[in-house]
Amino acid sequence: MKVSVIVPTYNERENLPELVKRLSKALKGYDYEILVVDDDSPDGTWRLAQKLAEEYPVRVIRRVKEKGLSSAVIRGFKEASGEVFVVMDADLQHPPEKVPELVKAIESGADIAIGSRYVKGGEVRNWYWYRKLISKGAIMLGRVALPKIRNVKDPVSGFFALRREVLEGVELNPVGFKILMEILVKGRYKKVVEIPFTFGLRKAGESKLGGKTIINYLRHVYRLMKWEGEIDRLIKFSLVGLSGVFVNEGFLWAFVRFLGLDKIVSNIIATELAILNNFLWNDLWTFRDLREKPLSQRLLSFHMAALTGAIVQWVVYIVLLYLGMHYLLANLVGIVASFVVRFVFNRHITWG
């Protein structure tokens, strides 16, 4: 299988020669090409790449009008002639010697092979603990928000290989900030493997991704949630929840008013009826396409979610009160927390 290694570059003149040299050594025996997609770097990376092309199977794409990491990678996909695509950074944070391992994983049946920092054996060198925490937190959020990628430990890695067919007929959004995540959500694949590697130090030059990284990431996650229909589910889940409020209040009123039942007993029954109401609508509407577990299990799990939500709501309320927050605001935060917990619980477990 021919391998196309796609390397987006912006001001990587100092790193490119070593990258190309080590890559060529690593890929000896393979039919391969190296596509350097450069955004007209002021340091003349593209010119140097053209020079390297005299000696190595390098192809240079110099973009003058467009900019951006993701769109550069997408352009590389369009120009690539191989059956296996590899994406990697130019700054040698991704070891070229690992590329054959990624390619072999594809050859032995994987559709996507990820160079992963967060599976056993993987590592990030020289990051402060809080940088790791932010990275892991961001990934965790993405995995919770996008159930399709929940088993992937490093869905934002910039180092990965894939079979050409994964992208056939797939429209990738160039605004998409993390291109691998975009592919994992929109691509056509069955088997994903993660191969540990050590995310090393940048050889020369500086990182271009900083500043608005987190905001951009959140926006990307949101866009993908929308694309996946998860935002629709969230809205449906909220509407169902709202209907439950009316069911709850209505029955409570009816039990007390017409049946003369005790107000505490009435509340318990009304709450249970509201839970059943919510379950029914969520099962028939919000999560209709995800009814895989037996009904009894879904019902039980939905009750567990309700209970967990109630506990979270109560704990948040107490803690915030204790911290001095206004009781109405504290309650509101508790309600929101409960909502999130119930949605996530139900999405991943009840209808997971």
Give residues in contact with ligand GDD (CB under 6 A): 8-10, 12, 37-39, 67-69, 72, 89-91, 93, 156, 158, 178, 207-209
Binder of residue 245, out of ligand GDD, Mn ion, none (CB less than 5 to 8 A by kind): none
Q: How far apart are CA 232 and CA 247, in angstroms?
A: 23
As a whole number of Å, the end-to-end CA separation of the chain is: 37
Non-local (6+) Cβ contacts of 300 within 8 A are none
Say if CB 31 and CB 107 are below 8 A apart.
no
- Helix residue ranges per DSSP H, the chain: 16-26, 45-52, 69-79, 99-107, 129-145, 179-186, 213-228, 230-258, 263-281, 295-322, 327-345
Question: Which listed option, ligand GDD, Mn ion, none, makes contact with residue 186 (CB within 5 to 8 Å by class)?
Answer: none
What minimum distance in Å lies between the beta carbon of 84 and ligand GDD?
19
Interaction site with Mn ion (CB under 5 A)? 91, 93
Minimum CB distance to Mn ion smaller for 160 or for 351: 160
Residue 33 binds which of Mn ion, ligand GDD, none (CB < 5-8 A, kind-dependent): none
For Mn ion, the closer of residues 33 and 91 by Cβ is 91
Select 209 or 315, whichever has its Cβ closest to ligand GDD.
Answer: 209
- Any residues with CB less than 8 A from the CB of 173 and at least 6 apart, and which? 70, 182, 223
Give min distance, CB of 192 to ligand GDD, in A.
17
Per-position DSSP letters for 189-204, written without gaps between them: -S-EEEEE-EE----S
CB of 266 to ligand GDD, least distance (A): 54
CB of 141 to Mn ion, least distance (A): 22
DSSP letter (8 states) at residue 148? G
Residue 60 or 72 with smaller CB distance to ligand GDD: 72
Contact by Cβ (8 Å): 199, 117: yes
Our measurement of the distance from residue 322's CA atom to the centroid of its chain's CA atoms, rounded to an integer in Å, reads 35
Task: Evaluate the CA torsion angle 270, 272, 277, 282 in order and state its sign.
Answer: positive
Shortest distance (Å) from residue 90 CB to ligand GDD:
3
21 binds, among Mn ion, ligand GDD, none (CB under 5 to 8 A by kind): none
What is the residue-wise DSSP string for 288-305?
A: GGG--S-HHHHHHHHHHH
| Shortest separation between residue 91's beta carbon and Mn ion, angstroms | 4
Residue of this chain nearest to ligand GDD (CB atom): 158
Range 255-268 burial, b when 16+ CB lie within 10 A, else e:
bbeeeebeeeebbe
In the complex, minimum distance from the CB of residue 17 to Mn ion, in angstroms, rounded to a whole number: 17
Cβ distance to ligand GDD smaller for residue 26 or 305: 26
Closest CA to 271 of 236, 307, 238: 307
Of 135 and 243, nearer to Mn ion (C-beta) is 135
From the list ligand GDD, Mn ion, none, partner contacted by residue 209 (C-beta under 5 to 8 A by kind): ligand GDD
Q: Which is nearer to ligand GDD, 89 or 111 (CB)?
A: 89
- Name which of ligand GDD, Mn ion, none residue 19 binds, using a CB cut-off of 5 to 8 Å depending on partner kind: none
The neighbour count for residue 195, using CB atoms within 10 Å, is: 20
Q: How far is the CB of 226 from ligand GDD (least distance, A)?
A: 21
Contacts of 51 (CB under 8 A, 6+ apart): none
Nearer to Mn ion, 93 or 286 (CB): 93
The interface partner of residue 239, options being ligand GDD, Mn ion, none and the CB cut-off 5 to 8 Å by kind, is none
